[in-house]
Amino acid sequence: MSDLPSFVHITEVGPREGFQFEPPSIQTKDKIRLIDALSETGVPEIECASFANRKVVPQMADALDIAAGITRRSGVVYGSMWLNAKGFLQALDSGLYTPALTFGSASDSFLARNNNTTPDQQIDRQRKLRALYSEHGLGSGPLYLFTAFGCNYEGVIPVEKALHRLSELVAVCEEAGAPPANITLCDTIGAAGPSDVRALVSAVRDRWEYPVALHLHDTRELGIANAMAGLELGVARFDASVGGLGGCPFAGHKSAAGNVATEELALLCDRLGIETGIDIPALTRAAKLAADIVGHPLTSKLALAGVFNRSPEA
């Protein structure tokens, strides 16, 4: 356990990844209500929305309204995501935090469905995005590898394939003089187990010195075990989603439902003596609000059971 980090940065992605996976009928005011509630929980960063083709992701068509409607609390970073230049320029206009994101996928089939590109086109798109980032004064940013462990269309992704796709994306960043701020390995469909996490994180570390981050899905109940494997390797940056909301609509018929729940990851860290800055009871209340807004129970057992009272009154 000696490599456990002392602090873990958790980016809350529920308002983006969660609501993209729900029907488009969720009201903008409710999305804003959840983001404002999350702002009071100590999460350091909230991904509020994405700027995407509204014909394929109508759930995110109100991204600009969300950006305009939220109450920004000092000390909280309010971010967004995009997959192309058009989305990046909208994100800039929104005033949400816009790090220089680079994206790719270990599965070529997922890439075609999610990003509408072949691997070569994706590299070309990332080069152009990087040039656009430079024009706007942005340097290094996170590099995301989707379906890093497996995919509903291609099955298991061998470590070598993930490394190959990563090396192309890292080269784009390095050639632009903007090495990745981190390499975020995404288990888009909850395909991994702890040994897979250990194998890929270690292989990436053997090859590059960039910090590794994890974006885990709990689709098959291994999300927290996978997070534990990452923590034991010293991974100190995670994405997670309040209540376990979310998934990617382009990930296949079994899909990607259920990110690791932020409050459960924060609880794991707390029980390991790792700081996150998160007020777990407050986040658990936000998870209940998220369930009310979407109108169905969420996967987080902590949200269901409530925080364990260590000193109950007799």
Catalytic residues: 248
Q: Which is nearer to ligand HMG, 20 or 280 (CB)?
A: 20
Tell me which residues touch ligand HMG (CB under 6 A). Answer: 17, 20, 50-54, 56-57, 82-84, 86-87, 90, 114-116, 146, 186, 188, 215, 248, 250, 256
Which residues are CB-contacts of 196 (< 8 A; sequence separation ≥ 6)? 149, 226
Q: 77: alpha, beta or left, given left = phi > 0 and alpha = psi -120 to 50? A: beta
CB of 305 to ligand HMG, least distance (A): 26
CB of 1 to ligand HMG, least distance (A): 28
Burial (CB < 10 A; 0-12, 13-18, 19+), residue 9, is: middle
Distance CA 292, CA 233 (A): 36
Q: Which is nearer to ligand HMG, 129 or 280 (CB)?
A: 129
Closest CA to 265 of 292, 215, 227, 229: 227
Strands 150-151 and 155-156: antiparallel
Q: Would you tell me the crossing angle of helices 108-115 and 119-135 to the nearest 10 degrees? A: 50
Burial (CB < 10 A; 0-12, 13-18, 19+), residue 309, is: exposed
DSSP 158: P
CB of 156 to ligand HMG, least distance (A): 16
Q: Which is nearer to ligand HMG, 54 or 73 (CB)?
A: 54
CB of 81 to ligand HMG, least distance (A): 6
CB of 225 to ligand HMG, least distance (A): 18
Q: Which is nearer to ligand HMG, 118 or 202 (CB)?
A: 118
Q: Which is nearer to ligand HMG, 26 or 282 (CB)?
A: 26
Q: How far is CA 204 from the centre of its chain?
A: 19
